[in-house]
A and B are shown apart, each in its own frame.
Chain A
């Protein structure tokens, strides 16, 4: 794939001595795809690991009606909170999978010695991780929410808020996963590092669904969730790359 041949040409005309500067073999999009595809493949072959967080999500959501009350009006009120908390906990539970194996089998060393931007490769890895662990939550949420007697419009908003919010959760989690990749038994520590960062997403996601449930307009929190996602996509890879360099040392 040709990479920004325009800048290459202007660099060539500049009177710099460094003419041996090679264009990297892959463009950014191709690089993203190569890393993403491999992680997806590995993740799907280790589907038992990935399915743990989905099962945990189902378990938590199923327990609340048993302990609180099976009455429709109670369930309807707690549904947004319960589903969002369960999604956050399930995401936390899956984070240790993100970089631990890569650190142990030497994959991170390989990525670190490549002439490609590390943050971009980590973004590809986190995206694959979200596809494997986040998408199942988004798909299962409306089905579980039906058992909470959630009306159709609130179901839609809940699903959409999870679709916007869970990638942000995975991205924020990747910072903690990168920081603790080299630590033994870092599970709870990891949760303590990233849970505070995730609170805005939790609040906005549950709030949007609440508003829809009350018949109000949920677009405000949804816009904010989108803004957080954009912010996370653009900033988190830089931070995670720095953390990975420290962990791999």
Chain B
């Protein structure tokens, strides 16, 4: 269970959010919505523990998320605007790195296939199209074997088939009792899972 309590963050003189709280049971999704600059990315980074909120806390199963993460009781995967892929390495090499970190090096080929990247798996990432890079980042999310997915506008640059693959991946993860937090502008089909909506920027 993921919960945020009393989260407040200012960027300069702009208030992004104040006393923001949410509770998300396993198998449920949190959809963060709001106009550009409303703080969707920042909220995702706060949940990931990358940005410290001015006040408030994020908890996972009752204790602080960062502690759970360091104790190895939580695996989370963050997929932001920066994709975390090295442009000098091939897609396969990039994914192999993350697969080894997750302890699942055998799954790389299977996931490359499923993401529709087997044709360009051995090309350097810098030669891929924006959509292919996004697919590679999504493949990394699937490889991570994480309980908590944090996705920042995952549909960007994806074609119809890619979006469908993304939605199926999210629904599959939720179906297995995983937790997903997504910041998105476009509608996203979560299937039958419970979705909590969080609107930022219109307070």
Residues of A within 8 A of B (CB): 18, 20-26, 30-31, 34, 38, 41-42, 45-46, 104-107, 109-110, 112-116, 248-249
Q: Closest chain B residue to A18 by CB distance?
A: B73
- Complex CA distance for A24 and B103, rounded to whole angstroms: 8
27 A-B contact pairs sorted by A residue (CB < 8 Å): A18-B71, A22-B72, A23-B72, A24-B72, A25-B101, A25-B103, A26-B101, A26-B103, A34-B97, A34-B101, A41-B89, A42-B89, A45-B88, A46-B88, A105-B86, A105-B87, A106-B80, A106-B84, A107-B84, A107-B86, A109-B50, A109-B82, A110-B84, A113-B49, A113-B77, A115-B75, A248-B50
- Complex CA distance for A7 and B74, rounded to whole angstroms: 19
Q: Distance (Å) between the CB of B7 and the closest chain A CB?
A: 15
Interface membership of B153, Cβ < 8 A: no
Interface membership of B17, Cβ < 8 A: no
Q: Across the interface, which residues of B come within 8 angstroms of A23, CB to CB?
A: 72
For B72, B77, B85, B102, which residue has the most chain A Cβ atoms within 10 angstroms?
B72
- Complex CA distance for A57 and B101, rounded to whole angstroms: 36
Looking at chain B's contact residues, is the secondary structure mostly helix, strand, loop, or mixed?
loop
- Complex CA distance for A247 and B51, rounded to whole angstroms: 10
Interface membership of B83, Cβ < 8 A: yes
Q: Specify which of B48, B73, B78, B80 is in contact with A22 (CB 8 Å cutoff).
A: B73
Q: Closest chain B residue to A118 by CB distance?
A: B70
Interface membership of B93, Cβ < 8 A: yes
Q: Across the interface, which residues of A come within 8 angstroms of B77, CB to CB?
A: 113
